[in-house]
Each structure stands twice: as structure tokens, then as C-alpha cells.
Amino acid sequence: MYKGSDELYKLKIILIIFSVLSLLILSGCRQVSMSMDRTLPTWISEYVYEDPELLWAYENGYFLEEPIVEEKDGLKMTIWAILSDDILTQALLSVEPLEDEYPVPGYGLITDLDDEPLEYPIFKSSALTPNGTVGAQYIISPTPGEHQLTIKLKNIETDNLGNETESFILEKQLQFNSGELAKFNTSHEINQSIEASNGSMSINKVMYTPSMVYVNITNSDVDRITDSRHPLSDIYLTTDGRKLEGTTRQIDSYEDNIPYYFVFPRPKESEDVKLVIPALSYNEDADLTFSKTDIGTTKTLEETDLTLKDWRVTDKGLELDILHGDMGNLYEITNWETFDTGVEAINVSAIDPRPGIDKDEEKLMTYHFPAEWNSEEWETTDSVMITKVKVAQEGPWTIYLPPIEKAQSSHPQEIVQDHSYDTMKDAVEAVISQEDKKMYFEGGSFTYDLKEFYDNGKPSYHIIFSMGEVKDNQVTSKAYTVGDEITSSGEQKFIRTPEAHEKIKNEDMDMILETYEDRTHFVVDLAKKEGRDLADDAFSMGYTLDGLYNGEWFCVFFNGDNLQAAYNIKTEELVVSDDMENLSVIDNKPVKP
């Protein structure tokens, strides 16, 4: 593998960050495959690849044939896709500067449906990149048929004092066919209710889209366990024994008796599908008072010990430090009252100020009572009372869902790959021979799209090259995919000093490539001894299996997005994820979350 100085290695990682492989060291050591069509700019294709819904729509031809581009006041807004099924209507929007080196603050918004203003836009996700902002927004799909969306470009300007001013500078009306992609979805009525002590949760239906599992839920005086520090976890899905984490797609506002969707990545197919609710929380009246003289005193609420550690008044209001014991049913304190003062205990916020606390430990919570005008309002307050709480009720409750059949494609085709390149060295030499110019190998990854290719040891190769000389501390890079054919992305610029580039130009590329071996099978075999069959997990979910070097580590990903295992070549240490959770990377070392 690459052997060079730490500085040189970091420069290589910076290259990959701004290239298609997108290796993100500090936030998960992830790598993005280059299976995107090269008509999309790299920074857009990277974003699309990480969103299963956008990726499916792109690969099946549902992006706009020609993106819609609007320009004003130095900004360019591009509308890449309007996608609508019987659940959501989504828009993929990007905003970038026309001339400035760095992105000008600004973003696109869906503001109106059929000329009626929307209460607020809902971002599914968004990203700020060196090229600009890109994000997907959604609304709940209207009735089937033709409708009109209004999309506006909002500009954000900051004055010399740091004050921000927002304004809409252009708008675009678009016609779309609501429910166009509904034919690929399968809906099943569930209509099962889970009863908690003071409320219930209704599982109304499940919808299988080509890329996701949508579970429609209604809460009635209950809520999910969403605090990651709590010993009990949020709702999850199991498919053939594999655990999948989900996320919320809200419809309007997240309130009682308003249906919402909980969404999971869809496995390729599965006969055994279960929705598991480990616990729920419900509202309960409370009557517990803390006063200034109670510092050091422990009181009990819902079988949970609460110890007042500190009572102080700051320039921002009253703050209480309360240590929550690790036993009991108290999930959250939601309402407070004060006595004999004109101050209302509203908008009380709570945080655990200690970093790195394990979820099984006691929680030290700081409760902040904000002062509307100044801190003197709280000087006369001698006591506060807890009047409402959320209580955790442990399940688990299990809902059996219909089997998931193989997803449809709008134009299914047989995948044929000849793969005449046996090593990374072969692939690199093939690219250089085709381009017939001086190119410098920067790094690469090994990707197995299907189990057949993995069993036969025939990966495709994703490779980054730099070329030319440094100009204005920038050098040109280009990404290639080598499989049954050689394809490439557009050129990109990234920052590099002339001295650093000279080091790379003088590297012995043949020697590097001789040691740049594919260790994917080796790491998968080691993980199997630890009880994880990474290959089976990946291909049964319809994911790719990707191998990539990161310093002394060889990392194995699912779908180019989920770090599952890493092997240290020097120390022979192996780190394997549990239950398909994404490994984190701290100080360049993969660790379990």
C-alpha cells in the first residue's frame, strides 16, 4: 500500500475527500462508489449515491433529462429532479456561486404547491460542499395528477457586524405528475395498536418502495425513545435477523394523532420482516419540588433517584444540575413551575454537559430556565416544581410485516462484467494506456457489485489520478472506474503545494502498486471468525462490498457508505461492527460506536 510521510498521506486523503471516493476520516471513514453516470458533476453524484431513493431514481432514468438552471445575483440554482410517488414528492436542488472561489450562502426551497404557500419546507438532507450547497426536500404527495411546485432561491447576506439578512431572489414554477413512481411501491395495511399505560401507538400500514421501507405510525399520548443515551433504543426493523436503524419522515408537525412515517433502508428481499418497538414513553403528572437548600439532597421520581448537585443564577437565567440515577422509569422532565414569582418556567432546556458519557451511566443534566429580561428575575426564586414527566415503559413489542420481494426496476437489465483486470496494477496501467499521458496514481478502491463477482474474486476498481503541474497551488485530478470497460468522471481541482506534488511525482508507482493488493476477502474471512459474515450481509441486502486503504488500515464498506470492518496491516488488529452499525474513526483508528 502507499508508503509516504504523514503529510503526504494527509494530502492524499484530502484528494480523495474532494474526489468520488469521498473518504471521510473524522466522520466515519467512508468511501463513495463511482457508479454514477459521468453526466452528473462529482459533488452531486456523491450526494445522490448516499441517498437510496435518489440513487434508484437516477439509475432508472427519473432525473430531469436536462437540469433546470436559474441564475441571479452571482448564484446558480439547479433543479436536478422532481420525484413523486404516493408517499412523498421530492426535489433535488443545488446552489453554487458563479464566480467566487468559495460557496456563497444560499439554498433552494419548495415554497408553494398549486400557488398555495406551504407552512414550512422539510429538508430530507442537505450538504455544504466546497462547490456549493445540495439538498433534497420533500412534501407529502398531493392527489394523483398534474400539480405545480414553486421553488425559490434564498440568499443569505452577512454585514460587517455579523447580522444575517435572508431574501428570496428568484422563483421557478414547475409542473409535475404526482404519484408517477407509485407503480413501483407495494402497500400493506397493518392496523395494529400497541397499548402503553397512558396511551397507544398505532402501526397503520407499511409501504415497500424500490429502495426504502416506509412504516406509517400514529402516536396517541405516547412517543418513541429517541435519546441515544438511554439504555432502551428507538424503533428498528429486523430482516432475516439483521437489525436496521430508521429515521423519521414527518408529514406536518410531529404531534399526537398526526400520522408520520418511520423509514428504513430496504433489503433486496426478505421472508422474515419484523418491526420492533423496544420501549415507549408516555406523559404523567408529577409533583416534586427542589429548593435552594436541597443541594446534595436525593429525591425519587418514577423510581429514579434525582440528586440536586447545584443551583445557580447566571446572566442567562437559572440553572440546576441534577444527577439522574441509572435505575428507574423516568425518561424526561417536560414541565416545571415556580412559586410566588412572576417568572414562568417555560422553554426549559436540558443537556448533559459531560462529553463521551456511556448510555448506561448516570446522567448529569443541566436544566436551564431562561430569563426573559435579565437574571434578577430568578434571584427571588427559592424553589421549582416538576409538574409533568415522560415515563419509559419497556416492551418489546413486535409487529410482523409482510415479506419483501425483489424490488422492481423500470428497465431491468442483465449485468454482464468481463473483468479482464486481475489487480489494481493491471487496472491502473489500462487507464494510463488508454489516456496516453502522464498520470500519477493517488489511490483506489475495490468494489464487488454482486456475490458472483465476489465469489470469483473479480472486483471493479475505482481509481484517482492527478495529472499535470501545480498552478496557483492547485492540481487537476480525475476519477476512473475500471470494470468491463473504463469510464471516467469530470476533472476536479484540489489544493496542493508544488513541493508536495513533486513528492508524488517521484514516487515509484510500480513498487506501490505491487503492494496494493485487494485484502477484502482476507478481512471478510477474519470477520467471519468473529461471527460476522460480511459478504452474506452485504449481498443479501442488495449492497456492494467495497475495500479501501486508509493509512495502516484496510477498510471494508457496505454500499460505499457504511464502514463495517477494518484490519490494521502492521498490528493485525481487527475491528468489526456489530449489527451493521457504521464504525466511527477517532484519531485515524476505527472504533465501534
| Residue 421 confidence (pLDDT) | 82
- Shortest CA distance to 52 belongs to which of 196, 266, 258, 208? 266
| Contact yes or no for 404/273 (Cβ under 8 A) | yes
Task: Convert the pLDDT of each residue in 205-239 to its tens digit.
Answer: 999 999 999 999 999 988 888 876 667 788 999 98
| Residue 244 confidence (pLDDT) | 87
Q: Which fold is adopted by the domain 62-181?
A: Immunoglobulin-like (2.60.40)
Banded pLDDT at 420 (limits 50, 70, 90): low
| Residue 275 confidence (pLDDT) | 95
Residue 327: all three cell numbers together: 435505575
Banded pLDDT at 589 (limits 50, 70, 90): confident
Banded pLDDT at 120 (limits 50, 70, 90): low
**Percent of the chain beyond pLDDT 90?**
38
Residue 449 has pLDDT above 70, yes or no: yes
Residue 547 has pLDDT above 60, yes or no: yes
Residue 262 has pLDDT above 60, yes or no: yes
Residue 353 has pLDDT above 90, yes or no: no
Banded pLDDT at 413 (limits 50, 70, 90): very low
The better pLDDT of the pair 325, 280 is held by: 280
Tell me the C-alpha distance between 436 and 347, whole Å: 65
Residue 418 has pLDDT above 60, yes or no: no
Question: Across residues 300-325, what is the average pLDDT?
Answer: 90
- Dihedral of CA atoms 224, 230, 236, 241 in degrees, nearest 10, equals -150
The better pLDDT of the pair 372, 470 is held by: 470
| Residue 101 confidence (pLDDT) | 63
Question: Across residues 24-50, what is the average pLDDT?
Answer: 55
- The residues facing 454 across adjacent strands are none
H-run or E-run covering 37: none
Phi/psi at 75 (nearest 5 deg)? -120, 145
| Residue 187 confidence (pLDDT) | 93
Written as one letter, the residue type at 170 is: L
Question: Across residues 75-96, what is the average pLDDT?
Answer: 93
| Contact yes or no for 324/360 (Cβ under 8 A) | no
- Shortest CA distance to 474 belongs to which of 6, 101, 104? 101
State the DSSP string of 407-418.
Answer: PP-SS-------
The better pLDDT of the pair 377, 276 is held by: 276
Phi/psi at 197 (nearest 5 deg)? -60, -45
Task: Quote the mean pLDDT of the chain.
Answer: 82
Question: Across residues 108-118, what is the average pLDDT?
Answer: 91
Question: Across residues 531-552, what is the average pLDDT?
Answer: 88
Give the chain's radius of gyration (CA, Å): 27
| Residue 479 confidence (pLDDT) | 86
> What is the CATH architecture assignment of 183-282+397-401?
Sandwich (2.60)
| Residue 156 confidence (pLDDT) | 78
Highest mean pLDDT of the ranges 170-179, 405-414, 537-546: 170-179
- Shortest CA distance to 313 belongs to which of 381, 254, 246? 381
Residue 404 has pLDDT above 50, yes or no: yes
Question: Across residues 257-281, what is the average pLDDT?
Answer: 89
Task: Convert the pLDDT of each residue in 483-528 to its tens digit.
Answer: 888 887 767 777 888 888 888 888 888 888 888 999 999 999 999 9
| Contact yes or no for 431/444 (Cβ under 8 A) | no
Phi/psi at 356 (nearest 5 deg)? 70, 30
| Residue 340 confidence (pLDDT) | 62
Question: Across residues 391-409, what is the average pLDDT?
Answer: 86
The better pLDDT of the pair 121, 392 is held by: 392
Residue 579 has pLDDT above 90, yes or no: no
| Residue 435 confidence (pLDDT) | 87
Task: Convert the pLDDT of each residue in 122-140 to its tens digit.
Answer: 878 888 888 888 999 999 8
| Residue 172 confidence (pLDDT) | 93
| Residue 147 confidence (pLDDT) | 96
Half-sphere exposure of 48 (CA within 13 A, CB side): 27
Banded pLDDT at 121 (limits 50, 70, 90): low
Task: Convert the pLDDT of each residue in 427-440 to its tens digit.
Answer: 999 999 888 888 99
